[in-house]
Chains A and B, each alone.
Chain A
Amino acid sequence: MASSPAAVRELQQDLESQANALSKIQKDIAKNHQVRKQYTIQLGENELVLTELELLNENSNVYKLIGPVLVKQDIAEANANVRKRIEYISVELKRLDGTLQDSEDKQNSKKESVLQLQQKIQTLQAGKSKS
C-alpha cells in the first residue's frame, strides 16, 4: 500500500498549507477590527469638532495645529475640512466592513476545507491501520 502513505503525506501537506492560509486570514480579520476601531474613534471625534464649530459665531478665530505650528484658519474653511474628513472616514469604514465580511467568508470556507482534509486523513489512517 505504497500509495496510501504518500497520499496521507500529500493530504497532510495540503492540510498544513490550508491551516497557514486560515491563520493568515484570521490575522487579517484581527487587523481589520483594529483599523475599524481606530476609524470609529476618529469619526466620533470629528463629529464632536463639527458640533463645536457650528456653535461658534462668525467672527471667532479658529486655529489648526499643524506640527508645532498653530495656524489661523477661516472658520468656513475649517468647517468644510472637518466635514470632508468625516465623509472620508465613513467611506473608509464602509470599505473596511466589506473587506471584513469577505475575510470572514473566506475564513469559514477555509475552516471547512481544513476539517475535510483532516477527516480524509483520519479515514485514510484508520484504513491503513485496519489493513
Chain B
Amino acid sequence: MEAAARGTITSLETLFPPDEAQKAARRVEEAIADRRNELLRVQGFVSDNSSLINLVRTLPEELSHDIMVPFGSAAFFPGRLVHTNEFLVLLGEGYYAERTAKQTMEILQRRGKALEGQVESLKATMVDLEAEAKFFDSTAAEAAEGLVEIREEYVEESEKKAPGSDSLDSKRDDMQMPDEDEEYARIMARLDELEKEELEDGSTSDDDNEENLAGDEVEDDETGDEDEDAESSSSFSTSDLKHEILEIKHKSEHPVQKARGQGQEMLGSIVSKQIGGITEQPLTDQPFSGDSKMQFPAVAHSFSNSGQSISKEVSRSSSSDAKFSFSKIEDSSNSTSRQISDRVSSGHKAFTGSIIEHDLGLPPIQSAKSNLGQASVSSSSKPVSRFKMQKGNR
C-alpha cells in the first residue's frame, strides 16, 4: 500500500481561527449598528422636514392664527401669529433668508431630496456590511465545526483517512467551485499519465490484473454513478459491464481516484453496510494495491447488490471534478450505461444476491475474484479497450 497521499491538511481553524472570525463578525456587527443609528437619525430628519412642509403650506391660509405662545420653559400665553407669509429660513451656517411660504416650501423640498440621498447611501453601506457579517458568521461556524481543508497533489493516492465524511462533503462543497477548472486540467493530465503507466507497467500478475479490473469496474461504476445519476450505477453486475467498465476505467483512472478520494469514505461506509449475503465481502478484506483500486471491487459489487440506494448516494456525493472526467467517459460509456440502465430495471426486480447476466452470453459472475478472473480472460463480443486486450494477452 502506498504511503499516505502527499498533500496538506489545513484545518480551517488555522486559516480562519474561529475566535478571530467571531471577533471580526462582531466588529462588523458594531459597524452595522452604527450605520443603523445614523439611518434612523436621518430618517427622523426626513419626517421632520415633511411635517414642516405641511405646516408651511397651511400657515398662509389665514391672515393670522391664534396660538399659545411658549413663554420660557413652562408657560404659554395666548397670542396671534401674523405675517403668515413671511418666513425666515435657516440656510445653514448661521445664514437666514426671508422668504415667502412658497419659496420656503421649495427650499424645504430641496433639503428633503438631499436627505433622501443620504439615506440611500447609508442603506447601501449597510447592505455591504451585512454581507460581510454573514460571511464572517458562516466562516466562524464552519471553523468551529472543525472543518479541514484537504489539498492533495495529483499522485497515485492510497486510501486516505480523511476526517469524516462530513468534512469531505463540506470540503467538497467549499472547494468545488474554485477547483473545477484546475481539476479538469489535472484530470486530463492524470489520464495521460495513467495511460502511460498502464502501458509501461504491464501486468504485475493475473490476480492484480483481476483486482485492478475489478477495481476498474468498481471505479467506473462509481464514476458512472456520479455522472449518470439515475442511470447505471446500481446493477453493474454483468461481466460485460465489467468489460465496458474496465475500458472506461482505464481512461478514467485519474479522475476516479480523485473522486474516489472524496467519495471514498462514504462508499466505504455504504459498502460495509450494504454488502450482505454477497460473496464480494472478502474483497473488502483484500489488501489494497498501490492503485487503491481495490476498494472499488467491493464497492462495485455492493452497488450491484444494494441496488439503487447506493448508486443514489454515490451520485449525490459525487464531486464536480469526477464529473469532468466522466463527461469524457460518458461518451465512451453511453452504450454501457444504456445497457446498465436496462439491466438496472431488471436487476431491481429480480435480484437474487448473485450477479448473473445471461443476456449477453457472458460467463456469470459468482464472486468477485473468480468473476474477475473470468472477466479478465473471458472473450466478449463487445469491443474492449486496447489496454484490456493487452492485459489479456500478457
Stretch from B91-99, B119-127, B286-294 that touches the partner = B91-99
Stretch from A5-13, A60-68, A108-116, A119-127 that touches the partner = A60-68
Q: Hey, which chain A residues are within 8 Å of B92, CB to CB?
A: 45-46, 48-49, 52
Determine the distance from Cα of A128 to Cα of B114 in the docked complex, in whole angstroms.
Answer: 66
Is the beta-carbon distance between A46 and B93 smaller than 8 angstroms? yes
Is the beta-carbon distance between B107 and A61 smaller than 8 angstroms? no
* Interface positions of B from 87 to 134, Cβ below 8 Å from A: 88, 91-99, 106-107, 110-111, 114
Say yes or no: A61-B98 contact (C-beta < 8 A), given A48-B114, A52-B107. yes
Selected from B95, B106, B110, B111, the residue in CB contact (under 8 A) with A62 is B95
B88 and chain A: residue at smallest CB distance:
A63
Is the beta-carbon distance between A82 and B96 smaller than 8 angstroms? no
Q: How far is the CB of A8 from chain B (nearest CB, A)?
A: 31
Determine the distance from Cα of A61 to Cα of B114 in the docked complex, in whole angstroms.
Answer: 24
Is the beta-carbon distance between B91 and A52 smaller than 8 angstroms? yes
Q: Hey, which chain B residues are within 8 Å of A70, CB to CB?
A: 88, 96
Say yes or no: A63-B95 contact (C-beta < 8 A), given A48-B114, A52-B107. yes
Determine the distance from Cα of A78 to Cα of B110 in the docked complex, in whole angstroms.
Answer: 20
Determine the distance from Cα of A37 to Cα of B94 in the docked complex, in whole angstroms.
Answer: 20
Is the beta-carbon distance between B98 and A53 smaller than 8 angstroms? no
Q: Hey, which chain B residues are within 8 Å of A85, CB to CB?
A: 93
Determine the distance from Cα of A60 to Cα of B106 in the docked complex, in whole angstroms.
Answer: 15
Q: Hey, which chain A residues are within 8 Å of B106, CB to CB?
A: 55
Q: How far is the CB of A57 from chain B (nearest CB, A)?
A: 9
- Please tell me if A35 contacts chain B, counting CB pairs below 8 Å: no
Q: How far is the CB of A12 from chain B (nearest CB, A)?
A: 28
Interface positions of A (Cβ within 8 A of B): 42, 45-46, 48-49, 51-53, 55-56, 60-66, 70, 73, 78, 82, 85
Q: Hey, which chain A residues are within 8 Å of B94, CB to CB?
A: 64-66
Say yes or no: A82-B98 contact (C-beta < 8 A), given A52-B107, A63-B88. no
Known pairs A48-B111, A53-B97. 13 more at Cβ < 8 A? A42-B93, A45-B92, A49-B95, A52-B92, A52-B107, A56-B99, A61-B97, A62-B97, A63-B88, A63-B98, A65-B94, A70-B88, A70-B96
Is the beta-carbon distance between B97 and A56 smaller than 8 angstroms? yes
Q: How far is the CB of B301 from chain A (nearest CB, A)?
A: 60
Q: Hey, which chain A residues are within 8 Å of B98, CB to CB?
A: 60-63
Determine the distance from Cα of A56 to Cα of B106 in the docked complex, in whole angstroms.
Answer: 12
Q: How far is the CB of A37 from chain B (nearest CB, A)?
A: 13
Is the beta-carbon distance between B93 and A49 smaller than 8 angstroms? yes
Is the beta-carbon distance between B97 and A64 smaller than 8 angstroms? no
Which 7 A-B pairs rank lowest in CB-CB distance, beginning with the nearest?
A61-B98, A49-B92, A63-B96, A65-B94, A45-B92, A49-B91, A52-B91
Q: Hey, which chain A residues are within 8 Å of B114, CB to CB?
A: 48
Is the beta-carbon distance between B93 and A62 smaller than 8 angstroms? no
Is the beta-carbon distance between A65 and B97 smaller than 8 angstroms? no
Determine the distance from Cα of A51 to Cα of B111 in the docked complex, in whole angstroms.
Answer: 11
Is the beta-carbon distance between B97 and A52 smaller than 8 angstroms? yes
B114 and chain A: residue at smallest CB distance:
A48
Q: Hey, which chain A residues are within 8 Å of B99, CB to CB?
A: 56, 60
Determine the distance from Cα of A63 to Cα of B95 in the docked complex, in whole angstroms.
Answer: 6
Q: How far is the CB of A105 from chain B (nearest CB, A)?
A: 26
Determine the distance from Cα of A48 to Cα of B221 in the docked complex, in whole angstroms.
Answer: 73
Q: How far is the CB of B334 from chain A (nearest CB, A)?
A: 62
Is the beta-carbon distance between B96 and A60 smaller than 8 angstroms? no
Can you list 26 A-B pairs, Cβ within 8 angstroms, ordered by A?
A45-B93, A46-B92, A48-B91, A48-B92, A48-B111, A49-B93, A51-B110, A53-B91, A53-B95, A53-B97, A55-B106, A56-B99, A60-B98, A60-B99, A61-B98, A62-B95, A62-B96, A62-B97, A63-B88, A63-B95, A63-B98, A65-B95, A70-B88, A73-B95, A82-B93, A85-B93
Determine the distance from Cα of A46 to Cα of B91 in the docked complex, in whole angstroms.
Answer: 9
Q: Hey, which chain A residues are within 8 Å of B96, CB to CB?
A: 62-65, 70
Determine the distance from Cα of A42 to Cα of B114 in the docked complex, in whole angstroms.
Answer: 15
A63 and chain B: residue at smallest CB distance:
B96
Q: How far is the CB of A34 from chain B (nearest CB, A)?
A: 15
Determine the distance from Cα of A62 to Cα of B110 in the docked complex, in whole angstroms.
Answer: 19
